[in-house]
A and B are shown apart, each in its own frame.
Chain A
C-alpha cells in the first residue's frame, strides 16, 4: 500500500471533485483525510489517499491527466511515508484573530506559536470588506499547546495584539469526561 499527497487547484466550476475522484477511483485509491474548499474564485483540494503498491507515480499522473486538462488544474502528486497517525501534541486551543487587513498577520501569530513549539492543527482565514471600506482579516487556528507553553501564551498573544492593532482571543478547549 502506498500513501499519496495530492494537491489540485483551479478556477471553481462544477465537476472538479467528481472528475478528480473518478480518476482516483480508477487508480484503486482509497480517500483518507481530505480538505477541499473554495478560496475566492478558485477551488483547492488536498487529499491523502492510499493505493495498491504497484501503482507508479507516472500511472497516477496519467489517470489524473483528463481532469487536469478539462479544468486547467495545477496538480501535484507525491508519495508520502505511511506512518502511524500521530496524536495531538498538547492541549487543544482555539485562537481567533481579527483586525484591519495588513501583510504579516499570519506570520506574526504563527511565528509566536512556532517559537513555543506549538503545533498548528488547522488554520483558515478570510478577508472581508469592512464597514468603512477597509478590508478586515479574520483567522481561526486550532493549535496543540504543550504544557510548558500554556502559562504565558495568552499574555504573549495579548501583547502581540496590542502591538499590531489586532483582536486576538485564545483559550484552551476544555475536555470534559461526562
Chain B
C-alpha cells in the first residue's frame, strides 16, 4: 500500500512487483490517496469475465510503455481480506481492468504477453525513436 500511494496516479500493485512472493494485490481506481476505494485482496480469483474490449495500458514496472490489451470490463472476483474473511464483488470498467492486470502479475503474466502484434500494439509514451545516424 505504501508503494502504491507513493506513486502519483498509481491505481494497482501486485506483491510480486515489490519483491514479495505472495498472492496479494492492492487496487484503488480513484488514483487518489484518500483510500476510500482501496481494496486489499489476498488469494484473488477471477470467477467470470465478460464485455471484452481493447484498451491501452501502462504498467508501473515499465513506465514508458503503452500496450494495447483486450480486457473484460465486467469481472466477478473473489478474495480474502487480510484477516482471512471471504469477499466477492462484481468489478466494472477501470477497476475490472486493474484487477486483471494485477492478477496477471501474480500469475507471472505481463501486459506485453497479451499483445497480439508488437508492430501495431506497442508504443512509447515518449514517442517514436529518432532516426539512426547514417553517414
Contact = CB atoms under 8 A, between A and B. Distances in A.
Q: Is the interface of B mostly helix, strand, loop or mixed?
A: mixed
Contacts of A30: 131-132, 134
Contacts of A82: 131
Contacts of B10: 178
Interface in A41-75: 50-52
A176 B131 contact: no
B127 A178 contact: no
Interface of A: 1, 28, 30, 32, 50-52, 82, 85, 87, 92, 94, 122, 171, 173-178
A92 B132 CA distance: 28
B57 to A, nearest CB: 5
A51 B134 CA distance: 7
Contacts of B12: 178
A177 B31 contact: yes
A97 B43 CA distance: 41
A58 B68 CA distance: 41
B134 A174 contact: no
A116 B97 CA distance: 31
| 5 A-B pairs with the lowest CB-CB distances in the bound complex, closest first | A174-B55, A175-B56, A176-B57, A85-B128, A177-B58
A178 B132 CA distance: 31
B114 interface: no
Contact of A174 (B31, B53, B127): B53
Contact of B134 (A52, A87, A173): A52
Contact of A176 (B97, B120, B135): B97
Contacts, number: 57
B56 to A, nearest CB: 5
B58 A1 contact: no
Interface of B: 9-12, 31, 53-60, 66, 68, 94, 97-98, 101, 120, 127-128, 131-132, 134-135
Nearest to A94: B54
Given A1-B134, A122-B120, A176 B54 contact: no
A171 B9 contact: no
Nearest to B94: A176
From A51, A52, A85, A174, residue with most partner B Cβ within 10 Å: A174
A73 B56 CA distance: 38
Contacts of B134: 1, 28, 30, 50-52
24 contacts: A1-B131, A1-B134, A30-B132, A30-B134, A50-B134, A52-B135, A82-B131, A85-B127, A94-B54, A171-B53, A173-B55, A173-B56, A174-B56, A174-B94, A175-B55, A175-B56, A175-B57, A176-B55, A176-B94, A176-B98, A178-B11, A178-B97, A178-B98, A178-B101
A85 to B, nearest CB: 5
Nearest to A51: B134
A92 B53 contact: no
Contact of A87 (B31, B60, B66, B127): B127
